[in-house]
């Protein structure tokens, strides 16, 4: 992984955040424990000035170290999932699955894109998958080379599809789920419209990705060895079992998220078990399994660095007590606008706030308790405020924000520069945004 450019971008972000704490007035909302979501949420209408707390250079440097502590669960899942998949890769199971897929598709290799994209979009819709993709990037790049697509396409059909699926997923517990609870709306509010929006947005993203891949597609993939150009037509049973054992923690995690309120800690623990079990089933001794597992974790350390530094940006803004000030100014601006216009302006406002608060769940508990009463004041449907959040923060913010540490880690792992990703993705994101705006317009029309 090539870290200097994305790491420099994030460190500059930390310095900019520190500078804002010297410029903006300090202020805070009161907060309370929300029994429905189990999170601390802001109380609308309680914004008040507080003593200034500007963050100096040394405090900003300390915040970088604190960012690793604050993001420990995310970093842990990247390392533990990464270790498990490296074990699978070393045993040849990943190559076997990829070779079988390429052999099955034959000359229709571009069909891999919708297949892979639908899988990751579904995972995004179910459990907000993003960081978990980082350890899979090496295997996905091998698949991409085998079917003749570049690294940009690989990121788009995996991480990009997952982020679009997360934003529009009707059942995503970390985005729509939290926002609907905070808006005091049933989980299945306008379920038909939201499901149609999910299908439309994912279809748009897949079409955007296939369009790019088709333009760049090579008849003879470069860098593919003879074994991959003429792969076997089946997966050896033992390697299939290894692959299935390593994948089982993900299935368990989906159930845990939906039924038992699991988080990243449980996912990391499940993959520790799955990775070790896969090594033993594949023929490694216990020592060999652990050695390979640790090597895999070491390979993912650069991704952990980016995630930790990215978390420091929001810590600096919180230390300087300016996040609530920015939110209050945004809400005040919306309150002076015509209701119809305010509804759509919520989307870019959520995009801007997401740069400052790159966690989708943290973004929801910060903004929804303010935006929902504002929607009531403007006589807007509460679901409009929810869709504005998922479109502005979950889609635009997640796909394009330079403070999204997981996105930068994914791009670094794939060797895709951030500016090139933005140049490619912005068109697809804008078209998908139209889907979100159309959903909002239909909700406004029916209100």
Segment-wise mean pLDDT, segments of 10 residues, the chain, 447 residues: 75 95 95 85 92 96 95 91 89 82 72 92 89 87 87 95 95 88 89 95 96 71 44 74 89 82 87 94 94 92 90 94 94 92 96 93 93 92 96 96 92 92 96 97 89
Q: 170-216: per-residue pLDDT in tens?
A: 878 889 989 999 999 988 889 899 999 999 999 999 999 999 888 87
Phi, psi dihedral angles at 28 (to 5 degrees)? -145, 150
Label residue 194 exposed, middle or buried (CB < 10 Å: 0-12, 13-18, 19+).
buried
Task: Please state, for a pLDDT cut of 70, what percent of the chain lies above it.
Answer: 94
364 touches 182 (CB < 8 A): yes
C-alpha span between 79 and 90 (Å, rounded): 16
Nearest to 314, CA basis, from 39, 60, 78, 31: 60
User: Hey, how many other C-beta atoms are within 10 angstroms of the C-beta on 284?
Assistant: 20
- Taken in order 65, 69, 73, 76, the sign of the CA dihedral is positive
pTM attached to this predicted model: 0.87
3-state secondary structure 97-115: HHHHHHHHHCCCHHHHHHH
Q: 93-112: per-residue pLDDT in tens?
A: 877 887 787 777 766 778 88
């Amino acid at each position: 992984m090539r870290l200097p450019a994305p790491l420099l971008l994030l460190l500059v972000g930390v310095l900019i955040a520190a500078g804002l704490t010297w410029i903006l007035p300090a202020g805070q909302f009161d907060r309370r424990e929300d029994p429905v979501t189990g999170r601390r949420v802001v109380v609308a209408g309680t914004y008040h000035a507080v003593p200034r707390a500007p963050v100096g250079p040394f405090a900003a440097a300390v915040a970088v170290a604190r960012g690793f502590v604050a993001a420990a669960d995310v970093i842990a899942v990247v390392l533990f999932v990464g270790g498990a998949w490296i074990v699978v890769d070393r045993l040849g199971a990943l190559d076997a699955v990829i070779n079988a897929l390429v052999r099955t598709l034959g000359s229709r290799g571009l069909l891999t894109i919708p297949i892979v994209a639908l899988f990751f979009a579904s995972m995004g819709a179910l459990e907000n998958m993003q960081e978990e993709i980082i350890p899979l990037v090496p295997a996905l790049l091998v698949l991409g080379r085998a079917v003749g697509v570049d690294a940009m396409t690989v990121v788009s059909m995996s991480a990009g599809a997952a982020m679009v699926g997360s934003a529009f997923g009707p059942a995503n517990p970390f985005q729509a789920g939290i926002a609907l609870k905070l808006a005091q709306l049933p989980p299945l509010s306008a379920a038909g419209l939201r499901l149609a929006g999910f299908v439309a947005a994912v279809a748009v993203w897949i079409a955007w990705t296939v369009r790019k891949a088709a333009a760049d597609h090579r008849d003879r993939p470069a860098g593919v060895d003879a074994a991959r150009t003429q792969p076997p037509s089946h997966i050896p049973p033992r390697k299939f079992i290894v692959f299935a054992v390593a994948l089982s923690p993900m299935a368990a995690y989906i159930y845990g998220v939906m039924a038992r309120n699991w988080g990243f800690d449980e996912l990391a623990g499940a993959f520790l078990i799955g990775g070790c079990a896969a090594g033993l089933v594949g023929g490694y001794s216990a020592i060999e399994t652990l050695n390979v597992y640790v090597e895999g974790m070491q390979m993912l350390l650069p991704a952990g660095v980016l995630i930790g530094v990215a978390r420091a940006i929001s810590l600096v803004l919180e230390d300087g007590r300016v996040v609530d000030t920015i939110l209050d100014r945004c809400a005040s601006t919306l309150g002076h606008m015509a209701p119809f216009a305010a509804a759509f302006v919520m989307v870019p406002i959520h995009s801007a706030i997401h740069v400052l608060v790159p966690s989708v769940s943290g973004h929801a508990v910060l903004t929804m308790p303010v935006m929902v009463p504002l929607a009531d004041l403007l006589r807007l449907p509460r679901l409009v405020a929810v869709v504005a959040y998922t479109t502005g923060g979950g889609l635009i913010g997640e796909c394009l924000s330079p403070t999204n540490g997981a996105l930068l880690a994914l791009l670094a792992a794939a060797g895709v520069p951030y500016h090139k990703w933005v140049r490619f993705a912005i068109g697809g994101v804008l078209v998908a945004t139209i889907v979100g705006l159309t959903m909002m317009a239909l909700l406004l029309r029916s209100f």
